[in-house]
Amino acid sequence: MTIAWLDCSAGASGDMMLGALVDAGVPLELVQAAVDALGTEPIRLHAKPVARHGLAGTKVDVEVPQTANDRRWRSIRAMLEAADLDEAARAIALGAFARLAAAEAAAHGIPEEEVHFHEVGALDSIADIVGAAAGLASLGITALTASTVTVGGGTTRGSHGSIPLPAPAVLRVLADAGAPVVGAVPYEACTPTGAAIVAAAASAYGPLPEMIVERVGVGAGGRDPQERANLLRLVIGREVAPPRRTGHAHRASTAEAAHGHDHHGDRAHGAEQAHHHGHGHHHGDAGHGHGPDSAHEHHHDAPHEHAPHDHPHTGPASDTLARQEGRPVVIETNVDDLDPRLWPAALAALLEAGASDAWLTPILMKKGRPAHTVHVLCRAEMVGAVRSALVRHTTTIGMRSYEIDKYALERRYAQVDVDGHAIGVKIALEHGEIVNASVEYEDAAAAAAALGRPLKVVVAQATALAAQEYPR
């Protein structure tokens, strides 16, 4: 399996990431094609060799026309969903912008749909994220680990004036991803764009994992500060296969597990055995429970659900499996002690983390305890981010996951105009024929508020216009 590690000791930015990918062998033409697929004004990428502190690297410059691009999150999302991109690249790009939207909404105290991206909404930053997503997806990496991220300190200038460093968006994005950070240098080392790409692509954080190195890409930032070489390194290699066990070792380990020995090696072997016998798609605890009997309950309620062997660098085994197969994944956990008022925010956080859908099922657990099963559907590439959001926003201490088959209709995005207010329309097609067209609720709600009309009236008007313009 191909694995990779990002050395973010000098920080991270969009141009550094593009430089590292091109330096590692990703064709600049592939990155350019992904940027062209956005259908925006002409954007041109240029790569050149540079040196930072005497070390060689590649600098990718993004040439954009002089236009004002102050975009909302929903317009960027629609643009990414409509673009002709590789699905893995689309997932990374959407995940990066979703994290930025959540961070900006928290920083400014506004709903995510109302977030206006200023610097990050500019064409060069959009190109950085989409180009980096396409480059990473092309490498076929099954697990990406990142080091501690140097974020820097001091102040910088933004569209709203002076901004403290690390920028609020950088801290929030990396905090939500569970990424370790350090200040270390008196300047902006990590940009919001760089933080979002790292958070969307990395499934774990730590030092260089054990691997057989095959290539290294070195990307350079625009500055050459005296404190350290302004370089981002992407180390790509093959995972080191574990040593094969002999039959005797297998019997001994199985016997020890049967007698309850709780050594790290035994747990890992048990997880391997579960995988080989067809149970490898279930991971984690069956659910969650606190109280004096919770440990006993977990031990006896799910005897066939083995804890995954968490490699300290590459993340849970199920992440690797999901990334290999590329199939959609459903993650589930039972929760019996979360304040019910927090569920709407928790479900919203899961969607922000990259989930395709998230929903609750009321259940009755043993001893008559009312609870909920939270189900999350996500792309394989988003498993790590979704698990992190589940842990951060609920009280679960474990979860299970399994791959599914999914049939999705072709989708297109358009707009209708209701008295001067644009309302998005999601169009579903089967074999090229329109079978459904639904209006975007948030757009309709905003139009209803602006026009002073009941929401149901605006929804009906927009639906009627959609039916006329996009008949079935």
Between 49-53, 127-131, 182-186, 310-314, the lowest mean confidence (pLDDT) is in 310-314
Task: Take residue 459 and report the two structure tokens written for it.
Answer: 């929804």
- Determine, yes or no, domain membership for 444: yes
Q: Is the pTM of this model over 0.75?
A: no
**pLDDT for res 117:** 76
What is the residue range of 306's domain? Answer: 271-403
CATH number of the domain encompassing residue 335: 3.30.70.1380
- Determine, yes or no, domain membership for 262: no
How far is 20 from 100, CA to CA, in rounded Å?
22
Between 272-281, 341-350, 452-461, the lowest mean confidence (pLDDT) is in 272-281
- Determine, yes or no, domain membership for 113: yes
Q: Is the pLDDT of residue 367 over 80?
A: no
How far is 314 from 63, CA to CA, in rounded Å?
36
Give me the mean pLDDT over the 87-91 stretch.
Answer: 93
Q: Assess whether 421 and 387 both reside in one domain.
A: no
- Determine, yes or no, domain membership for 248: no
Q: How many domains does the chain have?
A: 3
Q: Is the pLDDT of residue 344 over 70?
A: yes
Q: Assess whether 392 and 423 both reside in one domain.
A: no
Q: Is the pLDDT of residue 332 over 60?
A: yes
Pairing of the two strands 143-146 and 204-205: parallel
Contact, 425 vs 412, CB < 8 A?
A: no
- Determine, yes or no, domain membership for 160: yes
The share of the chain scoring above pLDDT 70, in percent, equals 79
- Determine, yes or no, domain membership for 213: yes
**pLDDT for res 118:** 64
Q: Assess whether 102 and 182 both reside in one domain.
A: yes
Q: Assess whether 51 and 80 both reside in one domain.
A: yes
Among 300, 318, 322, 298, smallest CA distance to 309 is for: 318
Q: Is the pLDDT of residue 461 over 90?
A: yes
Q: Which residue has the higher pLDDT, 353 or 68?
A: 353
- Determine, yes or no, domain membership for 168: yes
Among 120, 188, 92, 115, smallest CA distance to 149 is for: 188
At 133-168, the pLDDT tens digits run 999 999 999 999 999 999 999 987 765 567 899 999
The share of the chain scoring above pLDDT 90, in percent, equals 56
At 253-266, the pLDDT tens digits run 333 333 333 333 33
Give me the mean pLDDT over the 455-465 stretch.
Answer: 93
Task: Take residue 145 and report the two structure tokens written for it.
Answer: 């680990």
From 355, 370, 403, give the residue that closes a domain: 403
Q: Is the pLDDT of residue 324 over 90?
A: no
Query: Where do the H-state alpha helices sit in 24-86?
Result: 28-36, 73-82
Contact, 9 vs 180, CB < 8 A?
A: no
Which residues, including other chains, have CB under 8 Å from residue 278's CB and lie 6 or more apart?
Answer: none
